[in-house]
Amino acid sequence: MIRKTFESEIQQVKDEVLLLGSMVEHAIIGSVEALKKRDIKAAEKIIAEDKEINKKRFAIENQLMILIATQQPMAHDLRLLASTMEIISELERMGDYAKGIANINIRMGEEPLLKPLIDIPRMAQKGADMLHRSLSAFINEDVEAAKTIPMEDDEVDALYNQIYHELMLIIIQDPRSIERANWLLWVGHNLERVADRVTNICERTIFIATGEFGEIKSSDDEFWKGQQVQHK
Amino acid sequence: MQNTQPPEYAIETKNLFIFYGSFAAVSEVNIKIERQKVTAIIGPSGCGKSTLLRAFNRMNDFVPSSYVTGEVLLHGQNLYGSNIDPVEVRRRIGMVFQKPNPFPKSIYENIAWGARINGFKGNMDELVEQSLRGAALWEEVKDKIHKSAYELSGGQQQRLCIARTIAIQPDIILMDEPASALDPISTLRIEELMQELKKNYTIIIVTHNMQQAARVSDYTAMMMLDREGSRSGTVIEFSETKRIFTNPKDKRTEDYVTGRFG
């Protein structure tokens, strides 16, 4: 095979992306787990590990720059390398959401949780699972999977919706709970954004494989429409 | 040849085959080359790129056994029509070769000579200066235009050949690997020059350097042997350069531009 060296360097980049992805997955699950247990030490560890995520992202970016400069990628190779640049930035942002959840955990201090966490860990699990599969789709350039995974965003949105209404109800019943409710709402929002970014990864995967840019319809618009109706 | 209403396309080929004896070196080429654009012809060695390029100004006529079938239309007129003078074709369609080939004469005479035999009666000094300026060479040679062209560097000689070509005001300039014998800086000069030249001329370039094709051309014709085991080349994909290098349609083009062909 010609371009053996280039092929193996591309493979290395893909391996690194998977590694970055697993660090982010771990951070998402870990941040919610720490919140559930109100484990401040674990939250601090998540924040420290986010630095590693950022470092890894810059290392991959550097690798990509060198490949672009030295190998002059064209066509599929070019789409792959340019899109990988986008994907690692999505992953890093997802890591920031996990860090945000860890920060909320720390800011809550001694305050107990407003309610036992049930739907929030479900959201985290679902988001992490979607992320995992979206990266497999990216590695295998599986267009079918890349098209269907974003559909599951509806489930995440439904959970978020549920959390939102539940927390609103609690606030109405006891306005003193506003701050604590708001923290959890924030956590839910971060997890909802994780799933949105999975959609972006899937869009990139489709572009790499087909050369076609396309936005996968997000159910978010529906979500916000739903909120407006209820305010009226 | 009469210059009728300038069409959108400088050259159009219709079912063009180019033969050497009984062997079709190039088969079934149907392309339309847009005016005042740079069109690159790329493809592996031996796929007929230069043969196709040379068919555009009847240079293949010099190979005794060669002939074409089909049509090459310039302004709607078939260059291989029975009433066509090949010398006039070559005046209208100039060519720059891989290796700079100035005449063993002064810089000035290199330009004046062709113009003179083509019946140029105007101000020769002006024409020489204009042509050298057009080829981005004037500033470097204006103080020594009566010196031998052989005193110039390779890159300068190549620009002199371009100046010589534009002195007779062709419609189209064909370039066969015009920078492959030049160093990187001279290469970039020629590439920049092509962007200037396309404001007035249509340029068709054959190049092995894919990055060069990507940099300089608006359209790219990808040539390849027409089928496995065949020795006959054809254009397998012709489209905008940006398309060819980001998302080609043909798997063989993809393999070639990503360096996986062969």
- State how far the alpha carbon of B258 is from the alpha carbons of A9, A67, A75, B187, B190, in Å: 14, 13, 7, 22, 25
The maximal CA–CA distance of chain B, rounded, in angstroms, is: 56
pLDDT digits (tens, 9 = 90+) for B167-210: 999 999 999 999 998 899 999 999 999 999 999 999 999 999 99
List of chain A residues whose C-beta atoms are within 8 Å of the C-beta of residue B258: 3, 73-77
d(CA A226, CA A222): 6
pLDDT digits (tens, 9 = 90+) for B128-161: 999 999 999 999 999 999 999 999 999 999 999 9
pLDDT band at B215 (very low <50, low <70, confident <90, very high): very high
d(CA B12, CA B84): 16
pLDDT digits (tens, 9 = 90+) for B92-125: 999 999 999 999 999 999 999 989 988 899 999 9
List of chain A residues whose C-beta atoms are within 8 Å of the C-beta of residue B252: none
Residues of chain A predicted below pLDDT 50 = 229-232
List of chain A residues whose C-beta atoms are within 8 Å of the C-beta of residue B257: 74-75
Residue recorded with tokens 């050298």: B132
- State how far the alpha carbon of B174 is from the alpha carbons of A145, A229, B50, B206, B231, in Å: 48, 67, 10, 8, 24
Name the H helices within chain A: 4-37, 40-71, 75-107, 119-140, 143-148, 153-173, 178-210, 220-231
Under a CB-based contact definition with an 8 Å cutoff, are residues A77 and A15 in contact? no
Query: Residue A207: which of A87, A118, A94 has the closest Cα?
Result: A87
Query: What pLDDT does A176 receive?
Result: 93
B-facing residues of A in 62-91 (CB < 8 A) are: 72-79
- State how far the alpha carbon of B95 is from the alpha carbons of A124, B24, B107, B171, B206, in Å: 66, 23, 18, 11, 11
d(CA A214, CA A199): 11
Interface ipTM above 0.85: no
Tokens encoding B1? 């040849």
Give A18's contacts (C-beta < 8 A, 6+ positions apart). Answer: A135, A139
List of chain B residues whose C-beta atoms are within 8 Å of the C-beta of residue A72: 210-211
Query: Residue A91: which of A134, A48, A150, A141 has the closest Cα?
Result: A134
Nearest CA in chain B to A73: B258
Query: What pLDDT does A51 receive?
Result: 98
Under DSSP, is residue A166 helix (H, G, I), strand (E, B) or coil? helix
Look at B3 and A65; give whichever has higher pLDDT.
A65
Please, what is the angle between helix A178-210 and helix A119-140, to 10°?
A: 10
**Number of Cβ atoms within 10 Å of the Cβ of A227:** 11
How far B261 CA lies from chain A's nearest CA (Å)? 8
Name the H helices within B68-209: 86-92, 107-117, 124-134, 138-141, 154-167, 184-197
The answer to whether the CB atoms of A79 and B247 lie below 8 A apart is yes
**Number of Cβ atoms within 10 Å of the Cβ of B238:** 19
Query: Residue B223: which of B27, B54, B22, B11 has the closest Cα?
Result: B27
Say how many CA atoms lie within 13 Å of A70 toward its Cβ: 11
Nearest CA in chain B to A75: B246
Percent of chain B with pLDDT over 90: 86
Q: Looking at A109-118, B8-17, B50-59, B135-144, which range is the least confident one?
A: A109-118
Query: What pLDDT does B5 receive?
Result: 53
Q: How far is CA B178 from the centre of its chain?
A: 9
pLDDT digits (tens, 9 = 90+) for A51-62: 999 999 999 999
Under a CB-based contact definition with an 8 Å cutoff, are residues B227 and B255 in contact? no
